[in-house]
Amino acid sequence: MTPLGGHGDIGRNMSSFEINGELLFVDCGVLFPSEEHPGVDLILPGLHLVEDRLDQAKALVLTHGHEDHIGAVPYLLRRRSDLPVLGSRLTLALVREKLREHRLRDVDLRVVGEGDRVTIGEFDLEFLAVNHSIPDALAVVIRTKAGTVLHTGDFKMDQLPLDHRLTDLRGFARLGEEGVDLFMPDSTNAETPGFTPHERDIEPALERVFAAANQKLIVACFASHVHRVQQVMDAAVRHGRKVVYVGRSMLRNMTVARELGYLKVPENTLIDLKQIEDYPENKVVIISTGSQGEPLSALSRISNHEHPVINAGPGDVVLLASSLIPGNENSVFRVINGLSRNGVTVVHKGTAMVHVSGHASAGELLYCYNLLTPRNVLPVHGEVRHLIANADLAVSTGVPRSRVFPVEDGTVIDLTPDGLAKVVGKLECGYIFVDGLTEGEVSDAELTDRKILGEEGIISVVTVVSFHARTLVSGPDIHARGFTEDDSVFDQIRPELVGVIETALADGVEDTFQLQQLVRRTIGRWVNNNFRRRPMILPIVVAS
């Protein structure tokens, strides 16, 4: 087994299983870029590690429909379009919409549900119901000649789920009796003590927000959180408000959920964005994307007065019905500050219980360890600290430390027929960046250049020399962007540059690259000494 993503990050979840030359993939998600990745749209799992072996892959199994588990499916299917994809009804419906956007047709999508058991090649697959913050989530049991694996996907153990679909603890207990050789549990909330609250526990706070809102009310949540949208929809009906979706992904996902029966929309409740002006502000609730502060999302545009239809000002209320994904803190606080500056009242998880997590906390994980008594544990889905916390929970229940593996992406683990797991290798599982229409063409060096350009600016120095006459013909012409507004500041260094170039020419230097390096070192040293800055320096020497 090799993790190709999700071991060290909250995102790009993907696992690869291999036995007797056959491969099985579980999940294929994306990681959303942080401020460390300027210009990047998406980050893919380590597809390059399996790219030359895709003909040996038997199937891709999807545990649920969140972007960090299905977002990279089109990029995998571009590499092998006939790969069977297994998942629940809702999950595959969301995948189908995504494939349509990528113009991928005639894909082999196979619907499975809880209780189903399917054999594909060397892999005997069984699917168990788990609850999460999206309907139709599944755990997958992988039985092979080398042993039995239980991969939970993202899950929690909500005993009062809104859709009455419980995590299949009977199935977990049955597996515990049968024997689990490798347990792969969700680690996202492993540091959180106790049990994750029920989804319905937020309804009193939601009711208070609706009751107190006398003007415009905007609720921002994940575009896939069908349960949360259902709760908002029901509250809107109780308070006599119409509902309008804002954001392309919100409209698309909720349309799919409604068509499949996962979202119940009362008659005459939903209106189109174009109709919003036909109703008083206190008779409409807007359900929007942008709960993570995404720059182009509807909520960000509203906070910046850039949305073509919706404005938010004094007396309006914005409810952020979501939790912070690690790495998004600055973006979310920027949106909150922008809204607050406009006089908007912002209600979020830090001020009211308006969101509960979709992931199992420490108490639920301990329950699972005691129920399953697994021989080996491979924590999944989390940053390093989450994986280690989950590993510590496993050890506390009696799993030997030597059989718990809080490893990062690319680590190769073998499971042998005697029930022992061990680390046997480490592959380089770096990021694959998607930038516009390009994939994998942005390197770490290019990202470093982008950060330097964004933070320090650029200085260009253009010089024309004659190697034949050993003279400086023109220049140096110095210009800057993002460093200083007045190029006259370089008058101080220009004489020194002229001197070093003329000295080099007199010494017989006839290589433009050497002269460029000399110019870069000279002006770089001057900038550092005088400004304590490190801009990108672009020297250009032309020989006439």
Q: Per-residue pLDDT tens for 311-335? A: 888 999 999 888 767 666 777 888 8
Give which of 192, 188, 178, 127 is closest to 155, Cα–Cα: 188
CB 223 within 8 Å of CB 257: no
97 sits in which H/E element: helix 89-101
Q: What are phi and psi of 355, to 5 degrees?
A: -155, 145
Same domain, 173 and 70: yes
Q: Does residue 453 form part of some domain?
A: yes
Q: Which of 292, 325, 347 is the last residue of a domain?
A: 347
Q: Does residue 268 form part of some domain?
A: yes
Same domain, 402 and 448: no
Same domain, 496 and 372: no
Q: Is the peptide bond before 476 cis (omega within 30 degrees of 0)?
A: yes
Same domain, 328 and 362: no
Angle at 12 between CA 8 and CA 18, to 5 degrees: 90
Write the single-letter amino acid at 164: H
Q: Does residue 352 form part of some domain?
A: no
- Which structural domain range is residue 398 located in? 2-194+357-437
Which CATH number is 506's domain given?
3.10.20.580
For tokens 């749209």, what's the residue?
A: 41
Same domain, 317 and 380: no
What is residue 125's predicted lDDT score, i.e. its pLDDT? 98
For tokens 């979202």, what's the residue?
A: 263
Q: Which of 437, 464, 491 is the last residue of a domain?
A: 437
Write the single-letter amino acid at 445: A
* DSSP code string of 271-323: --GGGGGGS-GGGEEEEES-TT--TTSHHHHHHTT--SS----TT-EEEE-SP
Q: Does residue 517 form part of some domain?
A: yes
For tokens 């032309």, what's the residue?
A: 542
Q: How many CB atoms lie within 10 A of CB 357?
A: 19
Same domain, 205 and 179: no
Same domain, 40 and 165: yes
CA distances from 203 to 145, 198, 322, 395, 420 (A): 47, 10, 14, 37, 46
Helices (H) and strands (E) counted in the chain, each on its own, are: 14, 25
Q: List the pLDDT tens digit at each of the 544 positions of the chain.
A: 999 999 998 889 999 999 999 999 999 999 877 666 656 778 899 999 999 999 999 999 999 999 999 999 999 999 999 999 999 999 999 999 999 988 998 999 999 999 999 999 999 999 999 999 999 999 999 999 999 999 999 999 999 999 999 999 999 999 999 999 999 999 999 999 999 999 999 999 999 999 999 999 999 888 888 999 999 999 999 999 999 999 888 999 999 999 999 999 988 999 998 899 899 999 999 999 877 767 668 888 888 888 888 888 899 999 988 876 766 677 788 888 888 888 989 898 878 888 899 999 999 999 999 999 999 999 999 999 999 999 999 999 999 999 999 999 999 999 987 889 999 999 998 888 877 666 666 666 666 666 666 667 888 889 898 888 888 888 888 888 877 667 778 888 888 888 888 888 888 888 888 888 888 888 888 888 887 777 888 888 888 7
Q: Which residue pairs, CB below 8 angstroms and at least 24 apart, start in 172-180?
A: 172/128, 172/368, 172/371, 172/372, 173/371, 175/141, 175/148, 175/150, 175/372, 176/371, 176/372, 176/373, 178/148, 179/148, 179/375, 179/419, 180/148, 180/149, 180/150, 180/372, 180/373, 180/374, 180/375
Same domain, 283 and 367: no
Question: Could you tell me the pTM of the whole model?
Answer: 0.82
CA distance linking residue 313 with residue 302, whole number of Å? 10
Q: Does residue 108 form part of some domain?
A: yes
Q: Does residue 312 form part of some domain?
A: yes
Same domain, 533 and 456: yes
For tokens 């803190």, what's the residue?
A: 329
* Cβ-Cβ contacts under 8 Å for 266 (sequence gap 6 or more): 233, 237
Give which of 403, 376, 418 is closest to 145, Cα–Cα: 418
Strands 109-111 and 85-87: parallel
CA distance linking residue 187 with residue 175, whole number of Å? 20
Same domain, 297 and 203: yes
Radius of gyration (C-alpha) of the chain in whole angstroms? 28
CA distance linking residue 189 with residue 186, whole number of Å? 8
Residue 160's SS3 state is coil
CA distance linking residue 339 with residue 325, whole number of Å? 20
CA distance linking residue 176 with residue 48, whole number of Å? 35
Q: Does residue 507 form part of some domain?
A: yes
Strands 217-220 and 317-320: parallel
What is residue 114's predicted lDDT score, i.e. its pLDDT? 96
CA distance linking residue 180 with residue 421, whole number of Å? 12
Structure token digits, residue 471: 């003279």
Same domain, 236 and 134: no
CB 216 within 8 Å of CB 317: yes
Q: Does residue 226 form part of some domain?
A: yes
Classify residue 306 by burial, with Cβ atoms within 10 Å: 0-12, 13-18, 19+: exposed
CB 72 within 8 Å of CB 29: yes
Give which of 432, 427, 435, 393 is closest to 410, Cα–Cα: 427
Same domain, 430 and 538: no
Q: Which of 326, 347, 368 is the last residue of a domain?
A: 347
Give which of 411, 522, 532 is closest to 483, Cα–Cα: 532
Which CATH number is 332's domain given?
3.40.50.10710
The number of CA neighbours under 13 Å toward the Cβ of 456 is 17
* Number of independent structural domains in the chain: 3
What is residue 378's predicted lDDT score, i.e. its pLDDT? 98
Which CATH number is 70's domain given?
3.60.15.10
